[in-house]
Amino acid sequence: MNQHIKLSPKVEAALKEGRPVIALESTIISHGMPYPQNVETALRCEAAAREMGAEPATIAVIGGKLCAGLTEEEIDYLGREGTKVTKASRRDLPILVAKKADGATTVAATMIIAALAGIRIFATGGIGGVHRGAETTMDISADLEELAQTPVAVICAGAKSILDIGLTLEYLETKGVPVLGYGVKELPAFYTRESGFNVDYKVDSPAEIASFIKAQREMDYPGGMLITNPIPEEYAMPGAEINAAIAQALKEADEQGIKGKETTPFLLAKVCELTGGESLASNIQLVLNNVRLAAKIAVELAK
């Protein structure tokens, strides 16, 4: 085990006994939602994983340690501190470790720590991707590169609606990352169930997904796999409404000069404001939906 990794007792015991474990990210706590909904959602996600038979490992950097499995107090700390906590991607991990600092992990950083800990399944909300206008800004999330090189399967509700979904899929294809749709042929778009772009493969059961992951690992492929799980129909938002909110949020981000790692938190908060909180409610439900699917896949993979 890497000297910088710290496993919670429950996660360590589950891994040693070969029981199902799933990773959960922490940027959603510090940067993705307001307090106290962020903490409540994180704890609900952990409870949902356990209900489905998997041990949750919420991942963050605490005091320079790469933690897989947090206490309720640590989750509450991240939620209260919010955006004052470093939003940690791949590039930030060595710095935070050396400085013995704290960091809330993005998809990319969560994948890295999960892989170091021996966790192969990870549930999140939506992945980062190619931002709109990337042909001039070159704003492309490190999440995509991580999917190409780190052996962790990521379950999400598709790419965030604020992104250029077509270019995100093209990038993943170039990097050789399989993109699966759970029960759907079309890539979900976070708040909505359809994007207009097809996934590589439609899959119909957690057991089938587990067999794909097992084959990928047996072949010793360097990268991961993206499993997209559409938001439940009753929580999906009308495409016209969410697209109008995104367009307004993008306009305001451009006017205010919002760039880099601040872009996604700004856009999500602005969309939440413009939709009267409806997008936050949808966000919470889609994350819980992804956690349940990830746990089912982990259970199958552990058989």
What are the pLDDT digits (tens) for 183-240?
999 999 888 898 889 999 999 999 999 999 999 999 999 999 999 999 999 999 887 8
User: Tell me, what DSSP letter sits at residue 58?
Assistant: E
Tell me what pLDDT residue 264 has: 73
Tell me what pLDDT residue 203 has: 98
Tell me what pLDDT residue 157 has: 95
State the Cα–Cα distance between residues 202 and 17, nearest whole angstrom: 32
| Structure-token pair, residue 83 | 């955006």
In which band, very low, low, confident or very high, does the pLDDT at 8 lie, cut at 50, 70 and 90? very high
Residue 33: CATH number of its domain: 3.40.1790.10
Nearest to 112 by CA among 86, 85, 84, 142: 142
Nearest to 26 by CA among 39, 10, 14: 39
Q: What are the φ and ψ backbone dihedral angles of 183, each rounded to 5 degrees?
A: 75, 5
Nearest to 282 by CA among 294, 296, 271: 271
Active site residue 186: no
Q: One of 6, 12, 25, 74 is an active-site residue; which one?
A: 25
Q: How many independent structural domains does the chain possess?
A: 1
Active site residue 25: yes
Taking the complete model, does pTM exceed 0.85, yes or no?
yes
84 pLDDT above the threshold of 70: yes
Summarised one tens digit per residue, pLDDT across range 20-68 is 999 999 999 999 888 999 999 999 999 999 999 999 999 999 999 999 9
Q: Domain range for residue 193?
A: 5-302
Q: Give the 3-state secondary structure of residue 226.
A: strand
| Structure-token pair, residue 61 | 């950097």
Q: Measure CA of the first residue to CA of the last residue in the chain; give whole Å.
A: 24
Q: One of 6, 160, 270, 296 is an active-site residue; which one?
A: 160
Tell me what pLDDT residue 82 has: 95
